[in-house]
Amino acid sequence: MSDQTTAGKASGDKGTADKAATAGPNPVMPDPAQVAAAMSDLAAKSQKLMQDFFARQQAEGATAQPLDPLNIGQAFFDLTARMMADPAKMWEAQATLWKGYQDLWLATWQRAAGQAPAAATIVPDKGDRRFKDAEWDENVVFDYIKQSYLLTARWLRGVVEEANEGVDAETAKKVDFYTRQFIDAVSPSNFAMTNPQVIRATAESGGQNLLKGLSNMLDDLDRGNGKLAIRMTDPNAFKVGENLAASPGKVVFQNDLMQLIQYTPTTETVAERPLLIIPPWINKFYILDMQPKNSFIKWAVDQGQTVFVISWVNPDERHAQKTFESYMVEGPLAAIAAVTEATGVKDVNVVGYCIGGTLLAALLSAMAAQKDSRVASATFLTTMTDFKEAGELSVFIDEAQITALEEKMSKHGYLEGADMATTFNMLRANDLIWSFVVNNYLLGKDSLPFDLLYWNSDSTRMPALMHSYYLRNMYQKNLLVQPGALTLLGQPIDLTRMKTPVYMLSTREDHIAPWKSTYAATQLYKGPIRFVLSASGHIAGVVNPPAANKYNFWTNDKLPAAPDEWLAGAKEQPGSWWSDWIKWLGQYGGEKVPARVPGKVGKLKAIEDAPGSYVKAK
């Protein structure tokens, strides 16, 4: 037998395999009794949802909502006008797309005819998990569907990118962002009839996966009071205070906005100067105290630090009048006073994470103006101070959207946590939205236990006045970096006043606080600065315990004005930034003193066990 004949037989066998894969497993006939029971359950759930919907409409007076609350329509209208104004470029783009389809059709025809398959016309990006099922590559039909989608997506992104040239930056960002949202939404992996994994599951279960998926969707609608609250993990697998946020300690102080937790020492001696952590109030503090293996708080305690953490309240209508300044006064200022009272020292080391770091930067400027030196060192984790290039979150903060948001918040005095969570989930829609649509609703599976996704779903509300101030003055107007543009604690805020020693940690793939934007603060603060860049993103790059040895980091003792220049001269370091930070912090820890047991040493008595009651409020 010749080599050509052998190759033809091999490709013919491959074609037969493709046909067999298309046919899938032998379908299972559904049990009529099970189907009837499932349909009865679905009908009952649907009826309850409809009754609840009409009850809410009647109670709220069926207030009309704006047709375009995100102000997307005008942006795409402007885009269309630019595209129509240059038909030659549209023809060029169409020709490129047509050429790609020609190549794809030829390769598909050759493969269907039993010939050796040509190289793929287009392949998914590395890390794109939507097409990980083997049939997306092995089955000629699904391979064609996949590549057709990828070609069209690439073409659409290219057309939008070219049409955006000359458009103002904010409109261009908005159009690009929502174009990607559309592209992600129409992926063939998101539809039952074009997802081989769903087709296979439907055949194997006799359609039970779709019935279970519909039931899951109705449950999520019920749980979200008519809004689709997608379940990302098993909510019964975790309990705050037991297998999350379980580091032992005591609440030693509290007020309307926060509880202050002091953690039980695990070493005989500790650094004299205590450590206060200001977490973001957009999420709950226990991202820094998940489980023992990845708890930053436990690790810091084990390194001989007396650790205090602010646990912010989950605000409701009682907190509607709380301002950004309220968070400053009742948050870190009150905490610093309490920590010094509890330990008997005159100053503290402070860590601010995300918006907690933004608050800390403003506070340190005001304290500098007041000659208040109670902060010995400041650590900023993924913290924005210059919001000029705010990343993808900037698509949500134009005037129309902020006005609509303020009107929405005025009804109850706060922003619902689910609204905030949706915004962040949209930044990674394929991972945090569509993967769960496929798993929960099309495959009919229950979500698996995952501590990080449990925390991500444990959302918090935002007081109306504080949130409006933050969006308008930081994101929209970028006033924090303009000396004297903001006044807090009776002091004009000027970040260049700060002479406190600073450790800045940013993350290279951060989509919330882009590292090149956070780097801008190195040109503002006047004290000694160590800037460190970690691999990964806003959460994983921060919560990176040394024992995991998962992500590296970069350091550079020089601080040039341009972040790219800093990176070009930076040295890549193995392991976690935690080890680098604790060595840096050692300069400001003071002498070793006997370990302090919360509630027993110092003037503050224990109120309740950690993690306290504030963090448990839903």
> Rounded to the nearest 5°, which phi and psi values hold at 375?
-105, 115
* Residue 387 reports pLDDT greater than 50: yes
Cross-sheet strand order for the sheet of 608-609? 571-573, 553-555, 529-534, 502-507, 375-381, 348-353, 275-278, 307-312, 258-263, 249-254, 608-609
Which residues 6+ apart lie within 8 Å of 514 measured at CB? 389, 390, 391
Tell me the mean pLDDT in the region 45-67. 57
**Residues 270/301, Cβ–Cβ less than 8 Å:** no
pLDDT 10s digits, 423-456: 888 888 899 899 999 999 999 999 999 999 999 9
Instruction: Report how far residue 441's alpha carbon sits from residue 46's, in angstroms, rounded to the nearest whole number.
Output: 15
Catalytic residue, from 145, 229, 345, 354: name it.
354
Tell me the mean pLDDT in the region 35-52. 60
Would residue 349 be called left, alpha or beta, if left means φ above 0 and alpha means ψ between -120 and 50 degrees?
beta
- pTM, entire model: 0.85
CATH fold label, 249-396+461-616: Rossmann fold (3.40.50)
Mean pLDDT value across the chain: 88
273 has catalytic annotation: no
Tokens of 492: 């004009």
Tokens of 491: 């002091």
Tell me the mean pLDDT in the region 574-588. 97
pLDDT 10s digits, 266-321: 999 999 999 999 999 999 999 999 999 999 999 999 999 999 999 999 999 999 99
Report angle CA 28, 31, 33 to the nearest 5 degrees. 170
* Domain edges within the chain: 65-190, 249-396+461-616
* Residue 479 reports pLDDT greater than 80: yes
Q: For 59, how many CA atoms within 13 A lie in the half-sphere containing its CB?
A: 6
